[in-house]
Structure 1
Amino acid sequence: MDNRAIGYMDSGVGGLTAVKQALYQLPNEQVKYVGDTLRMPYGPRRTEEVAKFSLQIGHYLNETADGIKLLVIACNTATAAALPLLQEHLPIPVVGVIQPGVEAALNATDNNVVGVIATQGTVDSNAYYNGLMAGNPGIDVHQLATPDLVTLVESNEQDHDKKLAIVREQLAGLAGSGIDTLILGCTHFPLLMDEIQEVVGDEVTLVNAGAEAINLVEQILDDSDARHGIYPMSNHEVDQYYTTGSVDTFGEIATRWLDIPVSVKHLKTDANDLTLIEGE
């Protein structure tokens, strides 16, 4: 039994897609989440910079308010840049979202033609490509950087037609590829699931890499007997959400997506640390 929270980190609101799956699959586990919206997007940044930010957030989550028992890097770019680093520096299990997404796609595809949409940083890392090829050397992988989809999610745009037009433009590079499976290689993208499915068609299976990571989280909790010992958790008012950007925008998106009231606190960034700003 371990009553500490599970930590989640992302460049913004995208990691909430992993949290949503966790609330469904692990409803008795407390959430502690940092969205680094101020420094978003991570995709165009240098790998070393993303690794530095990720390590800052990991240390903040682990060292404040009783710490955490496990960290989910709910960001594909940060997973590609910093997973081994965080596993080395933190005294807790650290889970990324790429390998669970790879395994789900390998299981889902029938024709061995798989698409990956992600940030430029994730595409450049070839993390999905290498993982898919390692699992099936005969697979045909089509990678596409779609950075405007991250910006679209963070803008909190609600008009379906506007969102659909941007998604259609961003996914034009997959036209005629023959994919039967598409990895949503950024945790922001499931917030556009309806629009993406409409563009690629119902015959294409969408893989939510962030949600798939929760299966691995559950396995680790069970293997280490680390599930939360207070049952049932009647509400999630004890959960903690932090952002380095707009508290109001983050709270609005989180409340709508998670379908629970979400209270958000503000973190200030500097060269080396994150600091909680009281009263905001």
Structure 2
Amino acid sequence: MKEQAIGILDSGVGGLTVAREVMRQLPRETIYYVGDTKRCPYGPRSMEEVQTFTMEIVQFLMGFPLKAILIACNTATAAALDLVREQINVPVLGVIEPGARAAIKATRNHTIGVIGTQGTIRSKAYERALRQIHPGLAIHSLACPTLVPLVESGLSHTAMADKVVGEALAPLKKTSIDTLILGCTHYPLLTDSIRKTMKISVSIISSAEETAAELSTILQHQQLLSQQRFPQHRFFTTGSTETFTKVAEELFGNPVIVEQIDLGSLTVG
């Protein structure tokens, strides 16, 4: 079982930021990644829709021998983490609790901002996770529905990104936050624009590092760490392979082969 893969899923390309960190911390592990770009973004969708889509991806991934699943999507974590854990007999991790812990470590004035999709912010999942650890925090949450389409369109590193991010984050500039949680795994791809918008003293928190560390701890505890030297990763998308490949290769710095799938018929194309 040690050499079985880790399944990572997201509504699109954003979860690749988590996959990259998993590869950095666990370089011997094989990753099978699914980005549901055809139905992205998940943020405006109902909880029931997100749960259905998430379970479809999980069922596809469980067609392979896996030892863990990582839901690298904040909206899907908020809507479906417990549901997936009930139905799957391998460890299942989300990205919200690790992100909350990282933010609490970073804050100095106990005032934290959270940006995310409408679904994530509406769920109040980050507020619950933060206050469960530190009830005295001041939390400013902001839905930013314009950011995921920006990333999925391949416009992360453009003047357009600076403009859209600046407009989206304007309400937070009026607050006293000293820490900002990127409550969507797409948002780390906009880090440059986010840093230009926010005060230089604001710590920017992505859950990727903390999530990968938690996965490492679980695999080590269960004696499931891989010993293979050259893992063979696979990447799947329900939408355009061209845009997905472009973003993936920019992130990983090497060529990536992306396979298109139809979750409705659970086939690889």
User: TM-score by structure 2 length?
Assistant: 0.97
Secondary structure at the counterpart of residue 8 of structure 1: strand
Runs of 4+, deviation exceeding 3 Å: none
1:50-102 per-residue CA deviation (whole Å, 9 max, x = no partner) reads 011111111111113xx211000000000000001111111100000000001
CA RMSD, 1 decimal: 1.2
Q: Are residue 274 (structure 1) and residue 263 (structure 2) matched?
A: no
Mapping of residues 195-214 of structure 1, within 5 Å: 195-214=193-212
Name the CA distance, whole Å, in 2 between partners of 1:160 and 1:248. Answer: 19
Q: Are residue 130 (structure 1) and residue 128 (structure 2) matched?
A: yes
Task: Tell me which of 143, 146, 159 is aligned to 1:145.
Answer: 143
Deviation at 1:274, TM superposition (A): 2.7
Residue of structure 2 equivalent to 1:27: 27
Task: Tell me which of 248, 254, 265 is aligned to 2:248.
Answer: 254
Name the CA distance, whole Å, in 2 between partners of 1:148 and 1:87. Answer: 31
Mapping of residues 1-280 of structure 1, within 5 Å: 2-64=2-64, 67-157=65-155, 160-230=158-228, 232-233=229-230, 238-270=232-264, 273-277=265-269
Assess, with a 3 A threshold, how the Cα gap between structure 1 residues 184 and 69 changes in structure 2: closer, same or farther.
Answer: same
CA contact (8 A) 2:156 2:190 kept: no
1:190-219 per-residue CA deviation (whole Å, 9 max, x = no partner) reads 001111111112200011013321111000
Aligned letter for 1:201? K
Name the CA distance, whole Å, in 2 between partners of 1:226 and 1:203. Answer: 40
Name the CA distance, whole Å, in 2 between partners of 1:58 and 1:220. Answer: 19
Assess, with a 3 A threshold, how the Cα gap between structure 1 residues 252 and 201 changes in structure 2: closer, same or farther.
Answer: same
Aligned letter for 2:263? T
Name the CA distance, whole Å, in 2 between partners of 1:8 and 1:158. Answer: 22
Name the CA distance, whole Å, in 2 between partners of 1:134 and 1:116. Answer: 16
* Bigger Cα displacement from structure 2, 110-119 vs 155-164: 155-164
Aligned letter for 1:207? I
Deviation at 1:269, TM superposition (A): 3.2
Secondary structure at the counterpart of residue 187 of structure 1: coil
Assess, with a 3 A threshold, how the Cα gap between structure 1 residues 159 and 260 changes in structure 2: closer, same or farther.
Answer: closer
CA contact (8 A) 1:17 1:211 kept: no
- Percent identity between the two aligned chains: 44
Assess, with a 3 A threshold, how the Cα gap between structure 1 residues 223 and 171 changes in structure 2: closer, same or farther.
Answer: same
Assess, with a 3 A threshold, how the Cα gap between structure 1 residues 24 and 161 changes in structure 2: closer, same or farther.
Answer: same
Name the CA distance, whole Å, in 2 between partners of 1:101 and 1:248. Answer: 30
Aligned letter for 2:254? I
Structure 2: gaps spanning 5 or more residues: none
Name the CA distance, whole Å, in 1 between partners of 2:47 and 2:156. Answer: 32
* Bigger Cα displacement from structure 2, 93-102 vs 250-259: 250-259
Secondary structure at the counterpart of residue 14 of structure 1: coil
User: TM-score by structure 1 length?
Assistant: 0.93
**How many residues matched?**
269
Structure 1: gaps spanning 5 or more residues: none
Deviation at 1:243, TM superposition (A): 0.2
Deviation at 1:27, TM superposition (A): 0.8
Secondary structure at the counterpart of residue 266 of structure 1: strand
